[in-house]
Amino acid sequence: MPTVLQGATNQAQPGQDGPVPGHLLSLRETPEEEIQGLLDLAFSFLEVLEREVKKVPTLRGKVVACAFFEPSTRTMKSFDLAARYLSADVTTLTGEVSSVAKGESLEDTARALRQMGADCLVIRHPLSGAAHFLARRVDLPVINAGDGRHEHPTQGLLDLLTLRERWGDFRGRKVAIVGDVLHSRVARSDIWGLTKLGAEVCLFGPPTLLPERPELLGLPGRVRVARSLPEALEGADAVIALRLQRERQKRGLLPSLEEYASFWGLRKEILDRWCPEAFLLHPGPVNRGLELDGEAMEAPRSLVEEQVRRGVAVRMAVLYRVLAGRAGSSG
Ligand code: CP
C-alpha cells in the first residue's frame, strides 16, 4: 500500500487546482445541473432494477475496472452489479491481493488496468486525493468510490436520490447530519449535494469529531452547527446518522464508546420525540447500538435499505455518463 502519492493527502481536502472534466471526483466540483441530470438518469434506471431480467445492452463492449484499497460491501458490489446490468464487463482488484502489496505504485496499477482494456476506473483508497491524482495521470475516466475523508460522491448522489423521491424539491428542507463529521467523506459529499440543491444542513457531533470550520463544508450560509442534539433534530425533515469511523481516528477523541452511544447515538425514542416526521438515513455499514439503535433502523421512517437499492441505480447512471459515447478502449 503506497503511503505517499503526489497530490494526495491524509487531510480532508486533496491538493487540487480545479475540476477535472470527464470524471466523477467530488460533488463539490459537480455543477447542480449535472447532479440533477445524474439523479434523473438514476431514477430511470430504477425501472431496470424492477425487471425480471435486469439487463440492458447500453455499455456492451465496455470494461469497468474497480480497484478497492479499503473494505467495502455496498459500493464495490453495487458498482459490480451496475456494470453487469448495463452489459459491461467488470473486473475488481482489491488491495490485499494486488501487486500494490508487492510495492507497485497506484499509478502503475491503473496504467496496467488500462493496458488490459479498462475503459474506466472506479477507485476507493484511504488517501484523500487518490482519485484526483489518478484522474490527472492516467488516461482513463476515474470515478471516486471514496477517498480518505475527502468525498464519496456516489453515496452523496444516492442519498439525494432517496430524498428527492420523497420530497421532489430540496428547497426549504432541513437535514441534520449527526456523528463523526470529521472523518466522514459521506458527510462532505452529502453537504455539498444537499446545499447545492437548496437544503439547509445542521451538523451535530462531539466537538472532537467536528472539523475546524464546518460551515465551510457546503454552500455559504446553508451549513450550521447545533449545540445540542435536540437543537439539531428539532424541525429536521431528514436525519443522516454517520458511522463512527474508528479506523480513521486518533486515540483520545472520545471518552468511551458507551458515552458516545449515550450522548450522540440516535435512538428511536429520541427521534420520535424531537423529529417525529423526519426520514432516517445512514450510509452503512451501521454500528448498531453505537451511532444508531436497531429499533430506529427498523422503524418505518428508516430509508436505510432504500438507500442501498438506489446505490445500484446511481452507479448505473454514473457509469453510463462516464462511458456511453466514449470511444473503444484501444489506444
Ligand atoms: N456506504 C458505503 O460506502 O458502504 P461500503 O463501505 O459497504 O461500500
- The 10 Å Cβ neighbour count of residue 132 is 27
**pLDDT digits over 296-325, tens only?**
999 999 999 999 999 999 999 999 999 986
Q: What is the pLDDT of residue 172?
A: 97
Q: What is the pLDDT of residue 149?
A: 93
Ligand 1 pocket member 155 (CB < 6 A): yes
**pLDDT digits over 193-209, tens only?**
999 999 999 999 999 99
Residues 1 and 274: their CA atoms lie apart, in Å, by: 45
Q: Decide: residue 306, CB within 10 A, 0-12 exposed, 13-18 middle, 19+ buried.
A: middle
pTM, full prediction? 0.92
Count of alpha carbons within 13 angstroms of residue 20, beta-carbon side: 24
227-248 mean pLDDT: 93
72 alpha carbon – ligand 1 mean position (Å): 5
Name the residue of 68, 69, 74, 147 to mutate for ligand 1: max ligand atoms within 8 A of Cβ. 74
Ligand 1 pocket member 284 (CB < 6 A): yes
Q: What is the pLDDT of residue 248?
A: 73
Residues 104 and 72: their CA atoms lie apart, in Å, by: 22
Closest C-alpha among 193, 157, 158 to residue 175: 193
Rounded (10°) CA dihedral 263, 266, 270, 272: 170
Ligand 1 pocket member 61 (CB < 6 A): no
Name the residue of 73, 183, 309 to mutate for ligand 1: max ligand atoms within 8 A of Cβ. 73
Q: Which three cell numbers stand for residue 303?
A: 430509508
Ligand 1 pocket member 74 (CB < 6 A): yes
Q: Is the pLDDT confidence value at 43 over 50?
A: yes
Residues in the chain: 331
Q: Is the pLDDT confidence value at 10 over 60?
A: no
Q: Which domains does the chain have, with CATH numbers?
A: 32-152+309-325 (3.40.50.1370), 153-308 (3.40.50.1370)
135 alpha carbon – ligand 1 mean position (Å): 22
Atom of ligand 1 nearest to the CA of 70: 6
Strands (E), the chain: 63-68, 89-94, 120-125, 142-147, 174-178, 200-204, 223-225, 238-241, 279-281
Ligand 1 pocket member 58 (CB < 6 A): no
Closest C-alpha among 192, 197, 131, 186 to residue 164: 197
Q: What is the mean pLDDT of the chain?
A: 91
Q: Is the pLDDT confidence value at 153 over 90?
A: yes
Q: pLDDT-derived band of residue 95, with 50, 70 and 90 as boundaries?
A: confident
Q: pLDDT-derived band of residue 20, with 50, 70 and 90 as boundaries?
A: low
Ligand 1 pocket member 149 (CB < 6 A): no
Closest residue by Cα to atom 4, ligand 1, is 74
Ligand 1 pocket member 283 (CB < 6 A): yes
Q: Would you call 134 helix, strand, or coil by DSSP?
A: helix
Q: pLDDT-derived band of residue 329, with 50, 70 and 90 as boundaries?
A: very low
**Spatial contact of 77 and 83, defined as CB atoms under 8 Å apart:** no
Closest residue by Cα to atom 5, ligand 1, is 72
Q: pLDDT-derived band of residue 5, with 50, 70 and 90 as boundaries?
A: very low
Residues 7 and 108: their CA atoms lie apart, in Å, by: 16
